[in-house]
Each structure stands twice: as structure tokens, then as C-alpha cells.
């Protein structure tokens, strides 16, 4: 690990994506030096263009399935398409990004003796039999379905992280992210929040898959990034032990049906959109709700502060502005 500067040098893979770009903002705002690595498959330079002239920011276009040689103090590994439309576009590459990407970033962290964060997902729980989902639950995942490239890729990445932790003493942090939304979401990522808002703002019918009774919990992006940073900055134990590696659920335990979300979006946009129903996609989970007891315990009583209506209004403003400019 570099010892000659007080300012941390931090690598964020997938930094031009939705979550990554918000993390970059927070790290730079507190004075860190940040390297953003992204192949721009789903990320976009639009998300980071306000940072390109920042004296402590560097952008590298690179695919994490290939090795990367840098000198940094910490690594946040966020690289991977996260929406079904994007990760099913090239499922083999999605699995490679999760698995080869993890191997390459873990190898880098091992060489540097750097702490490394893995952005895992609630999808490791599959279509859960346990509700709400705790970190002790092993999941109910179809290993050969259309979503498996993402679900199993992330599960394998977790395995690699914990094996590097056990075998080499690597300082890891593994977070399981539940549905997150906010400004800079990709407008065509196929996720319910962006779908519903875009359809409502354009006066189109809002498409609900299934009968709308399936549930999700929606976390505003600022709350999630706060959880990332608190987790990554947990101090080492007095004996030098790296401390709590996770996994840890990060999400909002407030639970809403998909139909309730659609109705909220229509109300907040003032849209005349109607609800239409289509068949449910294969392996789509019927319930999603995190148990965040572990996050509260380890992350200084972390919990989401932004309520759904407030967060949706911010997301609606972002997408409305995006539509105005196009």
C-alpha cells in the first residue's frame, strides 16, 4: 500500500455508470484522488463530464476482464451491467465481467495490499423463499436461466472475494445492493423506476409485467453511496485484523408493489398514462426486501433517509431534463 501521501488514491471500476458516478462525486468532494475505469458499455461520459477537468480525477477507458496495473490505496469494484436488458444482451461477457473482473481486481488488491469493495447484488438471493432477505440466506437461484449470467456471476465473485480473504488475508468489503434509483440512471435500462418515469413523462402507457403485486424496495442513490463509504472506511481492529468483510445488505427496507410504484409515478408526474399488463419475465423475483440489521450494527446505525416520494421527484426532474435536451 502507498504510504507517502495522506490523500487516498482510489480506483472505481464502472465509475461512469449510475452508481459509480455518484461515488466519484462523494470521494472527490472529501478530497480523495480518484481514477475512474469504465469500458462505457453501459456507463456514459455524460455522467462524468463535470469531473473531467478536476485536478484529482482521471478517466481510463478499459475493460476489467483484462488486467490493469495501477498504484492505488483502495478499490471499489462496480464494473458490470446491472439491468436485465443490458446484462442479457451479451450474457457471456456479463459473466466474464463479474468473474474475470473480480479475479483481476483481487489480484491488483493483493499486490498492493489494498482494501477492495465488491458491489454485489440482491440477485444473489434469486426468487427468495425467505422474506425479508438476511445475509445468512443462501438464495434460490436458477443456475441455467436467462438471468443466471448476472446472478451466478455475482455469486461467483463473492466466492472469489471470500477465498482471497481467507487464503491471502485480503482486506475485503462485500455489499449486496438492493434496487437503487435516482439521477443518472440509464433511461433505457429496462428497470421499473426509469421505465415508469420515462413512459409517464412521454405520455405512454405504463407497462407492468405480471399483475403488479410483486414487491420491491427502492433505495435513493445518495443513501446507498453513504453506505458504501461507511462500509469501506470501517477501521481495522487493534490487532490489525481487517475487520468485518460482509456480506452486508444495503437497501431500503420500505416495501412497495410494482403497481403502487406505477401509481406514485403517475401522480408525481401528473401524467395521463394508463397501466397495461404483460406477462412476467422468466425467473423474475416476486419479493425483494432487505433486512438491514447488519448494516445498522456495523455502519454506525446506517439507514436510508430519503423517502420514496422525495427520491422519485428528484429522479423525475433528471429524466424530464434529459428529455428536454434530446
Decide: helix, strand or coil at residue 232.
helix
CA dist., res. 14 & res. 20, Å (int): 6
Strands across the sheet containing 74-77 = 57-61, 33-38, 9-13, 74-77, 115-121, 172-177, 248-250
* DSSP letter, residue 320: H
Tens digits of pLDDT across the chain (326 residues): 555 567 899 999 999 999 999 999 999 999 999 999 999 999 999 999 999 999 999 999 999 999 999 999 999 999 998 777 777 888 999 999 999 999 999 999 999 999 999 999 999 999 899 999 999 999 999 999 999 999 999 999 999 999 999 999 999 999 999 999 999 999 888 889 999 999 999 999 999 998 999 999 999 999 999 999 999 999 876 666 777 999 999 999 999 999 999 999 999 999 999 999 998 877 677 888 999 999 999 999 999 999 999 999 999 999 999 998 86
Closest CA to 265 of 321, 309, 213: 309
Residue 282 region, left (φ>0) first, then alpha (ψ -120 to 50), else beta?
A: beta
Fold of 9-325: Rossmann fold (3.40.50)
Q: Which residues does the annotation mark as catalytic? A: 150
Three-state DSSP class for residue 206: strand
The predicted model scores a pTM of 0.93
Phi-psi label, residue 174: left if phi above 0, alpha if psi -120 to 50, beta otherwise: beta
- Which residues on neighbouring strands pair with residue 172, listed in sequence order? 116
Q: Are 160 and 101 in contact (CB under 8 A)?
A: no
Domain-wise residue ranges, the chain? 9-325
Distance CA 91, CA 171 (A): 30
Amino acid at each position: 500500500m502507498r504510504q507517502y501521501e495522506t490523500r487516498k488514491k482510489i480506483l472505481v471500476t464502472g465509475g461512469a455508470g449510475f452508481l459509480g458516478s455518484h461515488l466519484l462525486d462523494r470521494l472527490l468532494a472529501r478530497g480523495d484522488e480518484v481514477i475512474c475505469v469504465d469500458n462505457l458499455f453501459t456507463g456514459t461520459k455524460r455522467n462524468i463530464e463535470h469531473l473531467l477537468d478536476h485536478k484529482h480525477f482521471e478517466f481510463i477507458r478499459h475493460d476489467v476482464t483484462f488486467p490493469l496495473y495501477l498504484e492505488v490505496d483502495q478499490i471499489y469494484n462496480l464494473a458490470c451491467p446491472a439491468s436485465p436488458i443490458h446484462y442479457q444482451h451479451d450474457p457471456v461477457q456479463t459473466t466474464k465481467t463479474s468473474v474475470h473482473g473480480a479475479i483481476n481486481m483481487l489480484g491488483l488488491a493483493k499486490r498492493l495490499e489494498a482494501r477492495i469493495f465488491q458491489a454485489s447484488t440482491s440477485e444473489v438471493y434469486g426468487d427468495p423463499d425467505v422474506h425479508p432477505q438476511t445475509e445468512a440466506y443462501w438464495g434460490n437461484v436458477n443456475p441455467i436461466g436467462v438471468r443466471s449470467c448476472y446472478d451466478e456471476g455475482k455469486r461467483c465473485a463473492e466466492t472469489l472475494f471470500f477465498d482471497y480473504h481467507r487464503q491471502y488475508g485480503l482486506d475485503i468489503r462485500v455489499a449486496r445492493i438492493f434496487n437503487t434509483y435516482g439521477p443518472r440512471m440509464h433511461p433505457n435500462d429496462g428497470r421499473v423506476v426509469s421505465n415508469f418515469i420515462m413512459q409517464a413523462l412521454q405520455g405512454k402507457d405504463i407497462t407492468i409485467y405480471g399483475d403488479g403485486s410483486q414487491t420491491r424496495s427502492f433505495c435513493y442513490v445518495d443513501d446507498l453511496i453513504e453506505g458504501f463509504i461507511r462500509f469501506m472506511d470501517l477501521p481495522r481492529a487493534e490487532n490489525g485484523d481487517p475487520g468485518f468483510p460482509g456480506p452486508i445488505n444495503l437497501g431500503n427496507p420500505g416495501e412497495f408493489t410494482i403497481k403502487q410504484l406505477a401509481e406514485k409515478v403517475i401522480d408525481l408526474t401528473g401524467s395521463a398514462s394508463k397501466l397495461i399488463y404483460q406477462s412476467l419475465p422468466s425467473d423474475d423475483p416476486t419479493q425483494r426486501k432487505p433486512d438491514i440489521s447488519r448494516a445498522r450494527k456495523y455502519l454506525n446505525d446506517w439507514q436510508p433517509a430519503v423517502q420514496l416520494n422525495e427520491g422519485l421527484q428528484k429522479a423525475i426532474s433528471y429524466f424530464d431534463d434529459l428529455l428536454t435536451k434530446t
